[in-house]
Structure 1
Amino acid sequence: MNNLKWYRITPLDVLLFRDAKPFSPGERAWAGSIFPPPGHAIAGAIRDLIQSNITIKLTGPFLTYKDQLYFPFPFSYDREHLCKRENNTAVPIPVVPLNWDNLHPLHSLLETDQNLPQPLVFESKHPFNDKLEGQYSAYLDYETILEYLKTSQISVEKWQKNRIKDNESPQPWKIETRPHNTITQGTRQVLEEDGYFVENTIRLQDGWSLAVGIKAKSEDENLKLTDNSQIIRLGGEGHRAILESCPQLGEQWQELEKISQGNQKKAGKKIAYLVTPGVFERRQRNNHPHCKPSPWEWTTAYPNNPTQEKGYLVSFATDKPLVISNRMRFGDNISTPAPQVYAAPAGTVYYLESNSEIILYQDSNASKQIQRWRDLGYSELLWISYQ
C-alpha cells in the first residue's frame, strides 16, 4: 500500500538553510544558504509538527508553481550553447557520449580511455551556434519532464514555455543578505568577538512553493498529518511556512514514476536523471566514508580488460558537488566537527547501457546509513530510454 501524501510548503517570509561549511578562523562570519532545502530540514520540521520520533520517508523536495511540479534543468542539455530548430527558434543543445554519436566528426578519430567516462559532445544533428541568444529557466515544468521521459527529447514548444526574459532570474527565488549585531552589555558598541554575523536568506518569488511527498516508513505507524493547513517551523532562526495538502502533485508524480519504472526495465541505452541531490558514499580505507558523483556499483560499460565484467556506466554530466550537511557520528566524540557530506547536484544525468533492468544498490538491501539518505529524499532518479 502506497500511503504517500503530497504537500505544498509556502514560506510566510524568508527561509534560511545554512550550508555545511564550518567557519574558519579569521574569516568573516558568513552563513550561506542552500536551496531547495536538504531533506533532513524538511523531516525535522514535520517531526516537530507531529511531535513524534517515527521514521519519515520523503519524496523530494521539489518546486511547484500553480500546483505543477518543477524539476531541475537536466545537464543532458547545455543552457549556454543553443541550436536552431523549427522556425529558427534557439533552444538548448543536447550532449551525448561520443561513442553514442556515430556521425560526429570525432567519433573515429579521438582515442579515449575506455575505463573512464566517455567524453561528452554536442549531438551532431543539432549544430550549435555561439551567436544565438536566449535564457531558459533553471527549473522545467512537469509537462516538459513528462515529454522528456516519454521521448528522450524536448520539443520546441516545451522549450518555448520555459524560456525567460533577459532581465529575469533563472531561479525562482532571490537571496537577501541580513546582518546580525551583538551589542556589548551596557554600551552601544558591537561585541568585538562574534559580535557581527551575516547570513544569506532565501525569498521565493510570488506563486512558488516547495513540494514534498511524505509518509511513515513503516505502514504500522500513523503519520498524524491532517489535510488542513498547518504552520511549521522550517530551517534556521525559526522561520515559518504553511503546510497544505495538494493531491494534484501526487498525481503528477505517479505518472512520472510509472513511465520512469517502465524505462528502467528496458534494454539498451538509458539515461538516469537525478532530480534530488545524490549521496553515493561507501566506507573505504580506515573505515572512512568517501563520496562519488555516481553510484559505486556502476562500473564502466567498456572495460579495457576483456576478462573484466562489463558494467553500466558510459558517461555522466554533472556540476560541482553540493555540501549538504555534516555526517552523523556514532560512538565518537560528537563535540568535534563531523566530516561533511558531498552530493551530486540535482540535474546530474547518467548515460548507461544495459541489456536488462538496472537495480540500484541504494534501493535494495542497503545498509541503514544508505537507507537513511534515501528516506530523506536524496538520490531520486527518473529513467529515460534513449532513442
Structure 2
Amino acid sequence: MSKFQYLITVKPLGLMYGSAGAFLSPENLVGRSGAKFPPDTATLAGLFFNANREHQFADRTELRNHLVISGPFWAQQYKPKQFYVPIPWHNVIAEKEDDEWIFVKKKSNSPEAVASESNQWCLGQHRWERTNKDLKPEFSWQSINTWNLPPNELREQQAIAKAPWDFVSFLHPRIKAEERHVVEKDGLFLENAVQFHEDYCLVYLSNYELPAGWYRFGGEGHLVEVESHFLSDKHKINRLLNQKIQHAFALITPGVWGSNNYSYRYPNHSSFPRQGLKMLTDKPVPYRYRLGHSQQEIETVEESYDPSRTGRLSRGRYAVPAGSVYVFKHPLNQTWWEFPDEWFPKEGFPLKHLGCGLCLPIDIQGLPVCTTAPTE
C-alpha cells in the first residue's frame, strides 16, 4: 500500500471538553497547559476497530496489520479535500509580514573554504538565516493545494489560516447518581473545553473506508458525524507522498522516533542518514495513546465483547512537533511510505501505522547539498 484511499471527516457537535486537557480547580489554575486538540489518530484507530466489530468491513487481523491512518488536519465542510496541514517551520507568516529561513554561506577564509568556491557548497559550510529574526509566526496552517509555495505567495493566494477552534472554560455539573440534579455540595467544577467553529470538520487520511454514520468519539464519547470520501491517486497529498524526498522534508504530523524506551529528534537507526543533518523545530510535544487489551484478554472477550472494559494506557513519550524541517547533506531518495518500520517505536505495532512522522518534500532557498553518496 503506497497511498491513502480515503479522507475521513469528523464533524463535532458543540463542546469537545474531554479532548482539551487537564481539569481546572482552585488548586490547579495552570490546567490549560495540558490542553491538547485535535484528537490523535489513535482515537480514530479505536473507532475503526469498534466499528469493524459491528459492520465487519475487514478481517480483524488484516485491519490490525494493514490499517494506516494519519492526521489530524481540518477543512471546511463543503470542500473537505482542500484540507489544511501545518506550515513548515522554514516559512514564518505573521499578520502583516512574512519571512523565510534560508541557507547562507559561512564567512571563512580558510584554505578549505576557498578551495571549495569552485565546487558546489556542502551543507556543513552553511547556516540557517532569515532577515527578520523577531518576526513571530501567527499562521500555522496552509492549504494542501499550495504546498511548497514561498510565504509571500501563500499570503497572496489566501492559502493560510489559523486553527478553527478555541479553548474555553466552563462550569460542568456533577450529577446525582439517582436523579438528574446537581449534587448539593461541590456540584459544579471548572473544566477545559474546545469550541469548534461551525462549517468546519476534522480530517484524517486512511487506507480503509470507515462506514458513514454517527459515532461516539474521544475520551468523553462526544457524538460526531463521520463520512468517508474517496481519494484518487491524483489528489495532491498522494502525488506529494509518491514524490521521493531528496534533501529536505517537513513533518505534517508529530514524529516519534527511536525505540520503545527512548524518544529522539530523528530515527536512531543505522539506515537513517544523520551525516550533516540540520533541523528547524520547536520543543517536543506529549504523545500518548491507549494500546488496547493484551492478546489473552482479546481471546477471552472475542465472543462477548464488553465495551465498558478499557484498554491499557501506554507509557508517555515525546514527539517532534508537526512543521519541523529536516535537511540532509545527501539525497534521502525515499518516500514516507518507504521509511522502514524500524525507524519508529513498535509497541504492539509500528507507530508508522498511526501516521507518525508523515512528511512531505520541500524546497528551501539557498539549500546547498552534496550529490555524491555518503562514505561509510
How big is the shift at 1:324?
A: 2.3
- How far apart are 1:274 and its partner, in Å? 0.3
Matched, 1:262 2:243: yes
Is residue 2:359 matched to residue 1:378? no
TM-score by length of 2: 0.68
| SS of residue matched to 1:45 | helix
Measured after TM superposition, the shift of residue 70 of structure 1 is 0.5
Within the candidate set 184, 190, 200, 2:192 is matched to 200
Deviations 1:83-125 (A, max 9, x none): xxxxxxx5421113xxx412xxx5439xxxx9x9985321xxx
Matched to 1:291, the amino acid is S
Q: Secondary structure at the match of 1:262?
A: coil
Q: CA deviation at 1:206?
A: 2.2
- Residue of structure 1 equivalent to 2:301: none
1:94 matches 2:100: yes
Q: Is the 8 A contact 1:73 1:347 kept in 2?
A: yes
> How far apart, in 2, do the equivalents of 1:60 and 1:280 lie?
17
Q: Distance in 1 between matches of 2:159 and 2:91?
A: 14
C-alpha RMSD over aligned residues: 4.4
- 2:39 and 2:268 map into 1 onto residues whose CA distance is 25
Q: Which structure 2 residue ranges, 5 or more long, are not aligned?
A: 110-121, 296-309, 366-376
Distance 1:246 1:350, change over 3 A: same
Residue 42 of structure 2 corresponds to: 40
Letter in 1 for 2:150: I
Paired residue type of 2:146: T
Q: Distance in 1 between matches of 2:356 and 2:172?
A: 32
> What CA distance in whole angstroms lies between the structure 1 residues aligned with 2:50 and 2:312?
26
Query: Displacement, 1:69?
Result: 1.3
Q: 1:241 to 1:379 in 2, by over 3 A?
A: same
Structure 2 CA distance, aligned partners of 1:187 and 1:359? 55
Q: How does 1:1-387 map to 2 (within 5 A)?
A: 4-18=5-19, 27=28, 30=31, 32-51=34-53, 53=60, 54-55=63-64, 56-65=67-76, 66-67=79-80, 68-79=82-93, 91-96=97-102, 100-102=103-105, 107-108=107-108, 120-122=128-130, 127-128=131-132, 137-145=139-147, 148=148, 153-154=149-150, 156-162=152-158, 170-182=162-174, 189-191=184-186, 197-216=189-208, 225-226=210-211, 229-247=212-230, 250-251=231-232, 254-264=235-245, 266=246, 270-283=247-260, 289-297=261-269, 311-325=274-288, 328=291, 339-355=315-331, 357-358=333-334, 363-366=339-342, 368-369=346-347, 371-386=349-364
Cα separation, partners in 2 of 1:117 and 1:138, compared to 1, 3 Å:
farther
Count of residue pairs brought into register by the alignment: 319
Cα separation, 1, equivalents of 2:313 and 2:6: 36
1:196-238 CA deviation, whole Å, 9 max, x = no partner?
643322222222211122235xxxxxx6x44xx4111111221
Identify if the C-alpha distance between structure 1 residues 359 and 173 changes in structure 2 by more than 3 Å, giving closer, same or farther.
closer
Please state how far the C-alpha of 1:261 moved relative to its aligned partner: 3.5
Q: Sort the Cα spacing of 1:107 and 1:296 in 2 relative to 1 into closer, same or farther, 3 A.
A: farther
Amino acid corresponding to residue 152 of structure 2 in structure 1: V
Counterparts of 1:136 and 1:356 in 2: how far apart (Å)?
Answer: 31
- Partners of 1:77 and 1:29 lie apart in 2 by 31
Give how far 1:36 is off.
2.3
CA separation in 2, counterparts of 1:187 and 1:206?
Answer: 30
CA drift at 1:140? 0.3
Distance across 2 between alignment mates of 1:15 and 1:187: 21
Q: 1:313 to 1:276 in 2, by over 3 A?
A: farther
- Normalized against structure 1, the TM-score is what? 0.67
Closer, same or farther: CA 108–371 of 1 in aligned 2, 3 Å: farther
State the distance in 2 between where 1:371 and 1:354 align.
30
Aligned residue identity for 1:156 = N
Distance 1:360 1:143, change over 3 A: closer
3-state secondary structure, aligned to 1:101: strand
Q: Classify the secondary structure of the residue corresponding to 2:44.
A: helix
Q: Is the 8 A contact 1:271 1:383 kept in 2?
A: yes
SS at match of 1:353: coil
Following TM superposition, by how much is the alpha carbon of 1:21 offset from its aligned partner in structure 2, in angstroms?
7.2
AA aligned opposite 2:108: S
Shift of 1:296: 2.1
Q: Is 2:7–2:204's contact at 8 Å kept on the other side of the alignment?
A: yes
Letter in 2 for 1:325: R
In structure 2, what is the Cα distance between the partners aligned to 1:12 and 1:365? 36
Kept in 2: contact 1:362–1:374 (CA 8 A): no
The CA deviation at 1:273 is 0.7
Taking the aligned partners of 2:268 and 2:37, their CA distance within structure 1 comes to 26
Aligned residue type for 1:58: I
Structure 1 distance, partners of 2:349, 2:31, is 33
Cα distance, 1:315 vs. partner? 1.4
| C-alpha distance after superposition, 1:117-165 (max 9, x if no partner) | 985321xxxx3386x9x985321012221xx0xxxx426342233478x
Q: Distance in 2 between matches of 1:364 and 1:322?
A: 23
Q: Please give the secondary structure, in 1, of the residue aligned with 2:83.
A: strand
Report the 3-state secondary structure (helix = DSSP H, G, I; strand = E; otherwise coil) of the residue aligned with 1:369: coil
Higher strand residue share:
1
Contact kept? 1:46, 1:232, Cα under 8 Å: no
Shift of 1:30: 4.4
